[in-house]
Structure 1
Amino acid sequence: MTELVGTCPVRHGSHTSMEAGPKNWWPKALNLDILAQHDTKTNPLGADFSYREELKKLDVEALVADVKELLVTSQDWWPADWGHYGGLMIRMAWHSAGTYRIADGRGGGGTGTLRFEPLNSWPDNANLDKARRLLWPIKKKYGNKISWADLMILAGTLSYESMGLKTYGYSFGREDLWGPEKDTYWGSESEWLAPSDERYENVDEPETMENPLAAVQMGLIYVNPEGVNGKPDPLKTAAHVRETFARMAMNDEETVALTAGGHTVGRTHGNGRAENLSPVPAGANMSEAGLGWNNHVSRGVGKDTVTSGIEGAWTTNPTQWDNGYFELLFKYEWELRHSPAGAQQWEPINIAEEDKPFDVEGTARQNPIMTDADMAMIKDPVYREISERFYNDPEYFSEVFARAWFKLTHRDLGPRERYIGPMVPNEDLIWQDPVPAGRTDYDVAAISQRILDSGLSFTDMITTAWDSARTYRDSDKRGGANGARIRLEPQRSWHGNEPERLNRVLAVYEALSAETGVSVADLIVLGGNLGIEDAARKAGVEVSVPFHPGRGDATDEWTDADSFAPLEPVHDAFRNYLKKDYTVPAEELMLDRASLMNLTAVEMTCLVGGMRVLGTNFGGTSEGVFTDTVGALTNDFFVNLTDMLYVWEPSGFNLYNLRNRTNGQVRFTATRADLVFGSSSILRAYAEVYAQDDSKEKFVHDFVAAWTKVMNADRFDLVAA
């Protein structure tokens, strides 16, 4: 046999090409990757690592001192503007946290994913890779006792302190992921900074932006600083700013405070030629050492840096927390000009020399600048009124900003009970979804009997418990059964909660709560558990569903009803529910819901199969109820799903018949969310396990484990502090 001299032994592209792989070959195949984003095999710290335990070893005082020293220690390879890295670190923290959106709770700084693509290479995040490299010596020193997610937010907060702001507080507790968040949808555009029109039904109506998106263009955190689609128009920009910040759960006052406070310090960079920059980190050569946007043609650092393309500082003293932003904004008239890089920016007319900030090297004064969003703060009537209030009361502005910054950087950390460290403020805030502690000193067996004697059906008990708990979102740790907000508006009236049935069940639980002092939240979960135990018993399996008392009942006064509206389940495959017909297939919606609930593909499979035979479909429909013994926790769903006796045939939108091959009779009806467990090769593999004759008990025990996980998803008090 002749040897092929010089042939490379590696099959180029077979493992690394983005064009290769089943999803590209068969684009309609169901992609389950979003349910595997927390795969322990990707975590270099091991399954036994506990970040909360490591935090107990952290010398917080020493860490704070080291960060503050770093802020004023300029490095030759990336010199600090005016000798202070505060502006850069604030931008890094802001852009880490600022991707959060309330529609699905995804994004935000809670997992440190700014380190990974696509965020690492977003145009709006240019040169933030340098900020993290500057922090690396501190991360290296403190190791696993401080996560990147915590360190980035801490660096921004301490930057404000270093420049004179009295901050509201800070909490540790953000645990790093070790790759991109696979379930976060950033938009469908195929190019960076594509026109905004692509994500709006009508770009002139900001509320028509595609959900769950919050930024106006692919690759931006918020809005285009030069105006909508790069066309300056402060009033039009104001409308987009308002919608974008509302999708981050910020009101008008918080929006003005954050805009002004973010631009009180630091500067923008556009004093050079953008075409001289190397590619973004994801596209850069290996010799760039993982960094992007490097300039090997001209100096490219300090005053010659190019980031946004806009050039200049907003205030006279950009390393000091003061009221300079509003002082300049109201003192001068502003006109459109162009930066050296060609970007459109607003500059003052006839500004006094002493009001001009120095360039970053302190050698010459230059004009301050404003973006189109800044001009919106005085052109929009509502924003102007707020801006005038802040201008006339600097202390009030500082207080509102400090609280808004805290909200921005902590929104996706979850409720206050998850906060850690000596800088945690004592005050409860409504956006933290506070829930009072419930009783734990009662006789669970006696209360269980009271529930059993109440006249509620087991289906009512199971369904109500599920509806209460299914609102949990692991993305921002909101929702769940604790607090029993299902008995409050807006949840009590949600279509998917079947208000008429729900109110009947809640009346029983509320009366029992009044008699016993046990929270409605505990009664709801306990009732669901009793229903599961009965269903398992009917299937011939004795099982005890774990129950942990201590849930409390939230109040209307401490429930931000508006921010709870996005938690409404407009689809729930576990109860075979769609609020309306959607263009996205039911099985894709199911994956999104399961991902938000932090379920694995196996847990999702087990729960759907169990909920079907329990008879918990929305409205009592029969789709997917592949059993003759409804109410018994059998594996019948999987047995009949995998039985070749039945032919599947479409019968309407999202509907199918299972017809007997022998006699031609329709035996069962189903939805796509049912049949995908038999058509998807991966999900069918799981379904076949549960369909086996030797899996009847395994199915019950697996269902109980998954059910308990859902019921306790928001019981952060059960996690070791």
Structure 2
Amino acid sequence: IFGFGGGREDIWHPEEDVYWGSESEWLGKSRYEDHNSESLENPLAAVQMGLIYVNPEGVDGNPDPLKTAQDVRTTFKRMAMNDEETVALTAGGHTVGKAHGNGDASKLGPEPEGAPIDDQGFGWKNPAGKGNAEDTVSSGLEGAWTTTPDRWNHTYFHLLLNYEWELKKSPAGAWQWEPVNIKEEDKPFDAHIPGVRQNPIMTDADMAMKMDPEYRKISERFYKDPAYFEEVFARAWFKLTHRDLGPRSRYLGPEVPKEELIWQDPVPTVDYSLSEAEIDEIKTKLLNCGLSPAELINTAWDSARTFRCSDYRGGANGARIRLAPQKDWEGNEPKRLQKVLEKISEVRSGLSKKVSMADLIVLGGSAAIEKAAEKAGITVRVPFLPGRGDATQEMTDAESFEVLEPLHDGYRNWLKKQYSVQPEELLLDKTQLLGLTAPEMTVLIGGMRVLGTNHGGTKHGVFTEREGALTNDFFVNLTDMRYSWQPVSENLYNIVDRTSGTTKWTATRVDLVFGSNSILRAYAEFYAQDDNKEKFVNDFVKAWVKVMNADRFDKNI
């Protein structure tokens, strides 16, 4: 055992605002652009809706270990696992336990949500025999992987590498691999019938560990060096079960390993503090460094928006926006980003303290927001919490960060391309990952539109004559009945004056959903009120700071 860290939270309701894939049916498969495994839609990892990893019978249910190896490699890469970790987890995970498919799967009852009330939410009721034990049907495959599936040992590689395997059908009709001419003593005992031995089985993914050339090399090394296999498995298992806990500082308990690992996205600590006077002085320098307020705000937002409360990765701490791969992401507008980073670096070089780039990026956004509020006639101070560190490229697993690349950002009114899911649904997914509420989402959208922060400088949704001032104009004009909304193309609308027929503004679906959805419209109408201008600014600032500080696990926020 490599170690253990506590700190996981339980949830008690389904997460309907999570993007699980575009499929409309169970085991549907529409998450690939072509037949290449690498075209699996980012950030999804499972090959189909309803599967955890890959299809155990083979790609699309057709056995072919070499093709399955491609799916396995892509799926585990999305989980930041390399080939060695993948083989270790596959072998270690299949060393104990068995698969269940000893019966006719077509006779199972409906799923839990479709079952009658007297089934009490269990679902898939099995009418055959006992309905459990030796009659269990779950995955559809039937059998154990190893000779002794009730204990940890190294028989997985012994069986996989020393026997020839052939395709067979399980009692439930699923494809599985079984050994040819296996010795009786190598067969596992039946889990439920005393004295009876059965053939072990392998899935198509298991056979990939033997048939794929790279996986084969690793499997043979593990077979010859069990101690090394156990070390790799222990570390890979720790990684698998702790990847969604965030940085090491969030781990609880006495068994937390002292070693800091690259997949934990380490960030160095800083040794400075900043007084309010020093913060004000730096704000002034940032505002006068030759960058527009929108450039400062966009860079701060882009740095922080990678945060995901699903696994506590991303965020502004570490300033990884200046490193590969983030500095080259299309959503971060690399040319504009490079210009901003160079200017902020110039400011940094002239400071008496070595303030981190991470702090300066966030502080630049704060200063620009205060200036925008001042233009709207409201004085506000954006709270700033210094202490962010700057990660280095050596501290950054660039490949594992690829899945954090934003492919859409409704807050900046941007889509990398058209998707089968509507833009407003993608906005909900981003909002959920950022840990924001519906009112916080609403106030941020309204504020960022009038601040002119759209990706590429587009004017969609900029419903104001005072762009750059933090006003509630977005909501005022969105709810103004003088205008009608006319579709132009798939995700583009004209806002037309009902009297003159002239086009006043343009908008996307993300903009219009705040008028069409009854709940969001209620929030929009609230912020559109004449006496809520100051509340709008204050609420915007609170939501903004929440995003900026989302990854400040070093502070009890």
User: TM tier, shorter chain?
Assistant: over 0.9
Alignment correspondent of 2:5: 171
Q: Report the number of matched residues.
A: 551
Instruction: Give 1:664 deviation, angstroms.
Output: 4.3
What is the alpha-carbon distance in structure 2 between the residues aligned to residue 312 and residue 580 of structure 1?
Answer: 45
Partner of 2:533: 696
SS at 2:393 equivalent: coil
C-alpha distance in structure 2 between counterparts of 1:630 and 1:477, whole Å: 34
Partners of 1:271 and 1:646 lie apart in 2 by 64
Is 2:356 aligned against 1:519?
yes
Q: Is the 8 A contact 1:227 1:372 kept in 2?
A: yes
In the other structure, the counterpart of 1:411 is 243
SS of aligned partner of 2:47: coil
**1:512: how far off?**
3.7
8 Å contact kept, 1:439–1:552: no
* Equivalent residue number for residue 413 of structure 2: 576
Look up the match of 1:453.
285
Shift of 1:250: 1.9
The answer to whether the 8 Å contact 1:276/1:298 transfers is: no
Q: Secondary structure at the match of 1:659?
A: strand
Determine the C-alpha separation between the residues in 2 that align with 1:706 and 1:452.
23
Structure 2 partner of 1:462: 297
- Which is further off, 185-194 or 326-335? 185-194
SS of 2:94's partner is helix
Paired residue for 2:196?
Answer: 364
Task: Flag the 1:634–1:193 CA change in 2: closer, same or farther, 3 A.
Answer: closer
Match of 2:266 among 420, 425, 434: 434
* Aligned match of 1:345: 176
Contact 1:272-1:300 at 8 Å conserved across structures: no
Other-structure match for 2:15: 181
* Offset of residue 651 of structure 1: 4.1
Q: Does 1:552 align with 2:389?
A: yes
2:548 match: 711
Show the counterpart of 1:136: none
SS in 2 for 1:716: coil
Deviation at 1:602, TM superposition (A): 1.2
Indicate how the Cα distance of structure 1 residues 357 and 665 shifts in structure 2: closer, same or farther if over 3 A, else same.
closer
Pick from 78, 87, 90 the counterpart of residue 247 of structure 1. Answer: 78
SS in 2 for 1:173: coil
Contact kept, 8 Å, 1:439 with 1:519, in 2: the verdict is: no
Corresponding residue for 1:401? 233
For 1:717 and 1:289, locate their aligned partners in 2 and report how far apart those are by CA, in whole Å: 44
Q: What residue number does 1:124 align with?
A: none
The one-letter code of the counterpart of 2:399 is D
Map Cα deviations across residues 435-460 of structure 1 (whole Å, 9 max, x no partner): 11234523342243134134233333
Q: In the alignment, which of 277, 296, 318 is matched to residue 483 of structure 1?
A: 318
C-alpha contact (below 8 Å) 2:54/2:75 kept by paired residues: yes
Name which of structure 1's ranges 291-300 and 347-356 shifts more when overlaid on structure 2: 291-300
Residue 475 of structure 2 corresponds to 638
Residue identity matched to 2:6: F
Match of residue 62 from structure 2: 231
> How far, CA to CA, are the matches of 1:224 and 1:655 in structure 2?
39
Which of 287, 308, 315 is 2:139 aligned to?
Answer: 308
**Corresponding position of 2:39:** 208
CA distance in 2 between partners of 1:511 and 1:389 (Å): 51
CA apart distance, 1:509: 2.3
**Structure 1 segments (4+ residues) deviating >6 Å:** none
Q: Partner letter of residue 86 of structure 2?
A: T
3-state secondary structure, aligned to 1:695:
helix
SS in 2 for 1:547: coil
Question: For residues 708 and 559 of structure 1, what CA distance do their matches in structure 2 show?
Answer: 25
Whole-Å separation in 1 of the counterparts to 2:124 and 2:87: 31
Query: Are residues 630 and 403 of structure 1, via their aligned partners in 2, closer, same or farther at CA, if it must alter by over 3 Å?
Result: same
Whole-Å Cα distance in 1 between the matches of residues 21 and 541 of structure 2?
37
Provide Cα deviations, 1:267-292, integer angstroms capped at 9, x if missing partner.
12333444564444334444444334
Cα 1:586–1:231 change in 2 (3 A) is closer
Alignment of 1:235-314 (within 5 A): 235-274=66-105, 277-314=108-145
More off after superposition, 504-513 vs 627-636: 504-513
- Mapped to 1, the partners of 2:16 and 2:89 lie a distance apart of 29
Task: Specify whether residues 486 and 347 from structure 1 end up closer, same or farther in structure 2 by C-alpha distance, changes over 3 A only.
Answer: same
Deviations 1:283-326 (A, max 9, x none): 44444443344545413443343333322221122222221100
Whole-angstrom CA distance in 2 between matches of 1:649 and 1:703: 29
The answer to whether the 8 Å contact 1:332/1:351 transfers is yes
Give 5+ residue unaligned stretches, structure 2: none
In structure 2, C-alpha distance between the alignment counterparts of 1:296 and 1:666, rounded to whole Å: 65
Instruction: Call closer, same or farther: CA 1:539–1:317 in 2, change over 3 Å.
Output: same
Cα distance change of structure 1 residues 408 and 650 upon mapping to structure 2, 3 Å threshold: same
TM-score by length of 1: 0.72
SS in 2 for 1:718: coil
How far is 1:600 from its partner? 1.5
| 344 and 701 in structure 1: CA distance in 2 versus 1, 3 angstrom threshold | same
CA distance, structure 2, for counterparts of residue 341 and residue 587 of structure 1: 42
- Give the conservation status (yes or no) of the 8 Å contact 2:462–2:505: yes
Change in CA separation of 1:532 and 1:189 when aligned onto 2, cut-off 3 Å: closer
Query: Secondary structure of 2:394's match?
Result: coil
Question: Which residue of 2 is the match for residue 473 of structure 1?
Answer: 308
Cα deviation, residue 581, structure 1: 4.2
SS in 1 for 2:554: helix
Change (3 A) 1:238 1:702: same
Once the two structures are superposed, what CA deviation does each residue of 1:641-674 show, in whole Å capped at 9, x if it has no partner? 2222333333455333333344444333333322
SS at match of 2:432: helix
SS of 1:656's equivalent? strand
One-letter amino acid of the structure 2 residue matched with residue 313 of structure 1? A
Cα offsets for 1:473-512 (capped at 9, x unmatched): 2222111111111111111122222222222221232244
Q: Quote the offset at 1:218 in angstroms.
A: 3.3
Cα shift at 1:256: 1.0
**Which residue matches 1:334?**
165
Moved more, 523-532 or 494-503: 494-503
Partner of 1:499: 334
C-alpha spacing 1:493/1:634, structure 2 compared with 1 (3 Å): same
Q: Which runs of 5+ in 1 are unaligned?
A: 1-166
Q: Give the Cα separation in 2 of the matches to 1:211 and 1:257.
A: 25
**Equivalent position amino acid for 1:392 in 2:** K
SS of equivalent to 1:630? coil
Contact 1:336 1:344 in 2 (8 A): yes
Partners of 1:499 and 1:239 lie apart in 2 by: 31
Alpha carbons 2:22, 2:421 under 8 Å: kept: no
Contact (CA 8 Å) 2:43, 2:403: kept in 1 or not? Answer: no
CA contact (8 A) 1:493 1:499 kept: yes
**Residue 230 of structure 1: how far off its partner (Å):** 2.8
Q: Which moved more, 1:464-473 or 1:565-574?
A: 565-574
* Maintained 8 Å contact 1:183/1:595: yes
What percentage of residue pairs aligned between the two structures are identical?
Answer: 67
Q: Which moved more, 1:329-338 or 1:267-276?
A: 267-276
1:606–1:703 contact (8 Å) kept in structure 2: yes
TM-fit CA distance, 1:368: 1.8
CA distance in 1, matches of 2:279, 2:21: 49
CA distance in 2, matches of 1:653, 1:272: 49
Q: Is the Cα–Cα contact under 8 Å of residues 103 and 128 in structure 2 kept in the other structure?
A: no
CA 369–678 in structure 1, closer or farther in 2 if over 3 Å, else same: closer
